[in-house]
Structure 1
Amino acid sequence: MGNPLSATLCEFFMEDLEQKAITTAPPHCKIKLWKRYVDDILEIIPKGQTETLTQHLNNIDDTGNIKFTYESETEGSIAFMDMKITRQTDGTLNINTYRKPTHTDQYLLWTSEHPTIHKMSVIRTLYHRANMVTEERDRKQEDKHIQHALKTCGYPTWAINKGKQQTTTERKEQPKQRTRNPERQEPKPVITLPYIRGITEKIRATMKKHNINTPTKPYTTVRNRLVHPKDKIPAGLKCGVIYEIPCKLCNKTYIGETGRQLNTRTTEHRKECEKETNRKHTRAAKEEAESTIKKSAVTDHCTRENHVMDWDNTRIINTEQQKYKRWIKEAIEIRRRGCGTMNRDDGVYSLDHAWDCIIEEGRAGGGGWRRPLLPVDGRG
């Protein structure tokens, strides 16, 4: 968030401030060790000089906006970042993984709607931290703690062992030195996919064959299921929708999309239909009207079949504000219904038939990944 230069400018400021603080520190507060990461500092100073040094540091910044606080060691131990540093009786230091007293060992659940690679990264991260921070003699105890925490979150044993093995292998391998490639390769195309269990994995496998990177993002979250901070907009006033208009006298429906309000688009459909159906025709004029292709497929259906559309049960199938994505979603809905639509074509976007097997699976599975259908009047 904010300006991209903010972090760099803050680092420049802190480096200048700490150099002044260290060089001008009182002689009796001589700093033996100063290690800083962002705004966390580990210091070793003479005993009993903590208050004096803190007061000195707070006087360095003339604006008074920078305030230092401190935390002293307790029973020979102090926490710094993810490390718990403990002084031993022989003067050596013992370093273990630090967890706050409020830490609950709650990680991404194995049953959550996230791709498996995200869950495997949780395992690798925990073991990587243990290997980097924990002393060798305490690593066995840390391993037990990690396994217990992961199993509580539903992680199977095979996944824990695999993640641990991958971390161990990475440690043994020598770091590869970067070499400049004179023939710079073009970057791979990237397509971000919403994660839908059972479908996204198949799409990723297909994309991988064509050398396309496919990062994923969560689709079903607690936030979009439970949190609705804004007042609900009536369905007829929503913009950027894919909609369905059924016929009263047959099972066919019309699938359309619009970036405007749904009521505006359905009113246009309705006026054109009523204009044609209310017109008095002679037999010759009627035959001519039936052979003429109208602007809307809805009007064509009403004119040729002498049917009436069920305007009151117009429903929103999906929503999408981006026009190009909305075209794709419209094409998917038309393709899924097959001969059950009165549409004259497959939509604006020409959807490749390679997607038919996935669309068929979504239809056979009850369309669990579709958004709920909403009537235009907003009634449940």
Structure 2
Amino acid sequence: MLHDEMVLGAILIHCTGQTASFTDSLRDKVSCKLLNKRYLFRYLVNWKLNTTGMNPSTESFLILHRFGWVKMKFSFSGQCYQQLKGSPMRSPISGFLAEAVMQKLESIAHPDVKPKLWLRYNDDAFVIVKKELFDLLHKNLNSAFPGIKFTSETEADGQLPFPDVLVHRKIDGSLHTSVVRKQAFSEIILHFESNHPIFRKRSFVYSLLNRAKTYCSDEETYRAEIKYLFNVFSKNGYPRDFAH
């Protein structure tokens, strides 16, 4: 139960500045793949194993890390780019590094604020904190690393979406949840008569019904969402018994 001095807030991360630059000196001279191979060969030549001869040293690990992250180059529309900030998409190590950075940020921001609740989904955080401390929390996060900035959002009319769950603050201070639905939603979904495999249509219906079951915190809200979904299904040609 929340008191009046507490506020619901969402904190979202975004990076600032350049993330890649066009490498003019490489154009029409050498491919990005060949350039990466040359870097790798150079690093492997300097790779020194520890005394056991089995495990790489910390220095060797950092060298390979720089190759796979800092020195990574890629081509786009015939031009070669080098990663300047951030981690490469789909790289196995990117998720691990992002988690490490977020944990470091949390250790920096929390001591001065001590939020009542801090829930993080990847790099988005749902927070309950005293109203007068929310701006301080936001400031602490933004001052940790120059290249990483956060946007913030607080509840409006007792409601806050995060990310597709709508959190309601009731008059008695309790929290209830429901499904977030964008105002631009046209109620047009995959039509039942469309030329798609039947298993995809079943999966689509199941995912929407399961979302209602998962996100709606009380029976009244759940029934209202189910009624709405069956109306949408009907508009798009789905037999009523198909959704059961």
Using structure 1 for the length normalisation, give the TM-score. 0.38
Aligned counterparts, 1:1-380, within 5 A: 5-6=90-91, 8-25=92-109, 28-62=112-146, 64=147, 66-134=148-216, 135-161=218-244
> Once the 2 structures are TM-superposed, how far is the Cα of residue 26 of structure 1 from its aligned partner?
6.7
Is the Cα–Cα contact under 8 Å of residues 166 and 178 in structure 2 kept in the other structure? yes
> Once the 2 structures are TM-superposed, how far is the Cα of residue 144 of structure 1 from its aligned partner?
0.8
Report the identity percentage: 32
> Once the 2 structures are TM-superposed, how far is the Cα of residue 105 of structure 1 from its aligned partner?
2.5
Q: Which amino acid aligns with 1:83?
A: V
Higher strand share: 2
Using structure 2 for the length normalisation, give the TM-score. 0.58
Is the Cα–Cα contact under 8 Å of residues 102 and 123 in structure 2 kept in the other structure? no
Is the Cα–Cα contact under 8 Å of residues 33 and 43 in structure 1 kept in the other structure? yes
Is the Cα–Cα contact under 8 Å of residues 29 and 49 in structure 1 kept in the other structure? yes
What CA deviation, in whole Å up to 9, does each residue of 1:34-66 have, x standing for no partner? Answer: 21212321111220333332222122224x1x2
> Once the 2 structures are TM-superposed, how far is the Cα of residue 28 of structure 1 from its aligned partner?
4.8
C-alpha separation in 1, matches of 2:226 and 2:220: 11
Is the Cα–Cα contact under 8 Å of residues 30 and 46 in structure 1 kept in the other structure? no
> Once the 2 structures are TM-superposed, how far is the Cα of residue 22 of structure 1 from its aligned partner?
2.5
SS of equivalent to 1:55: helix
C-alpha separation in 1, matches of 2:175 and 2:128: 13
SS of equivalent to 2:177: strand
Question: Taking structure 1 as reference, are residues 26 and 147 closer, same or farther at Cα in structure 2, changes over 3 Å only?
Answer: closer
C-alpha separation in 1, matches of 2:243 and 2:138: 45
C-alpha separation in 2, matches of 1:4 and 1:20: 21
What CA deviation, in whole Å up to 9, does each residue of 1:1-52 have, x standing for no partner? Answer: x97853x533323322232222222755222222121232111122033333
- Structure possessing the higher radius of gyration over alpha carbons: 1
Question: Taking structure 1 as reference, are residues 26 and 158 closer, same or farther at Cα in structure 2, changes over 3 Å only?
Answer: closer
Which deviates further from its counterpart, 137-146 or 28-37? 28-37
Query: What stretches of structure 1 of length at least 5 have no aligned partner?
Result: 162-380
Question: Taking structure 1 as reference, are residues 11 and 34 closer, same or farther at Cα in structure 2, changes over 3 Å only?
Answer: farther
Is the Cα–Cα contact under 8 Å of residues 99 and 122 in structure 2 kept in the other structure? no
Is the Cα–Cα contact under 8 Å of residues 164 and 180 in structure 2 kept in the other structure? yes
Q: How many residues align?
A: 157
C-alpha separation in 1, matches of 2:198 and 2:128: 44
C-alpha separation in 2, matches of 1:104 and 1:95: 23
